[in-house]
Structure 1
Amino acid sequence: MELKLHDTLDYSVIKFPATYEIPEAFNSLTAFKSITYTNDECSFVVPTDSLNTNQATAVDSGWFIIQIVGELDFSLVGILTQLANPLAEQGISIFALSTYNTDYLLIKNTEKERALQTLIQAGHTFN
């Protein structure tokens, strides 16, 4: 599978209360960003230090992003498994995000070299 290091920024996964309103600073970000709302929480993935986290209930920084290149058809099965399994075998944790087009993996920066080598050894390529 063809993969791409999304960029070189450090990312944070931030948890806010479910009623948290999207701040204007989020709208002006040009880097990768994501918001997910549930009844229990609001989770942001943004470049570290790009949002005020005073109202956050949890902040976990130090992540990088790998993107699966191309648009993935909804009928495809096992895409994330092909990436997650080799990483799990090496004890490397992931935070997965999906969009309409493709999937993204967030992996801790402390595991970057090991994760990249693991995925390459599993037959994946980086563009």
Structure 2
Amino acid sequence: MVRELPPGLTHLFAQTKLYTDGEEYVIISLPVERQREAVTLFAQLYGLFGALLFDKDEVTLVVPWAVWEGVREALGGFEEARGYRLITFDLPLELGLVGYLATASSLLAEQGISIYALSAYARDHILVREDEFDRAWAILSGFITRCQAALSESAG
């Protein structure tokens, strides 16, 4: 049984492929005055998944641990949370879409799994703790399978 979803979401979830790259990620907070250093570090990620966010109070980076491990001692003055794994909802999504990421995050929240959500222009991504990754993957995969079955039943 698929939960009641906003119009069109069952169809989108049925088309969704999950992707992960097997990397360990770290989420880093730097003081806002260290934007230049953050940009320099971020430039090293060519071809890798990463995120860089500036707000009025801090600079946040999401980078593979293997990249961060090589530079962290030289930077100093940061907070970090390591041990995250990436799950990408590998399906182009429209910017105006309502409820897609909320549905996925609700499924995981109901099972006590915390996420760190990131959105690119056309795809959504979440980071989950490494020790919860397999469970999160199974929950999301199971939901996608149920959406596919629901569409098959309604078409048949």
TM-score bucket of the superposed structures, by smaller chain? 0.7 to 0.9
Is there any run of 5+ residues in structure 2 with no aligned partner, and where?
A: 1-12, 147-156
TM-score, with structure 1 as normaliser: 0.88
List 4+ stretches of structure 1 deviating above 4 A. none
Q: Secondary structure at the match of 2:83?
A: strand
- CA-to-partner distance for each residue in 1:71-127, whole Å, 9 max, x for gaps? 2112210011121011001000000001111111000110011111111222359xx
**1 CA distance for matches of 2:111 and 2:61?**
27
Instruction: Classify 1:4/1:40 alpha carbon distance in 2 versus 1 (closer, same or farther; 3 Å).
Output: same
Q: Which structure 1 segments of 5+ residues have no match?
A: none
Alignment of 1:54-73 (within 5 A): 54-73=75-94
Structure with the largest fraction of strand: 1
Percent identity reads: 30
**2-side partners of 1:23 and 1:35: how far apart?**
8
- In the TM superposition, residue 56 of structure 1 has moved relative to its aligned partner by 4.1
Residue correspondences, number:
125
> Normalized per residue, which structure has more helix?
2
1:117 matched residue in structure 2: 138
User: RMSD over aligned Cα, in angstroms?
Assistant: 1.8
Name which one, 1 or 2, has greater alpha-carbon Rg. Answer: 2
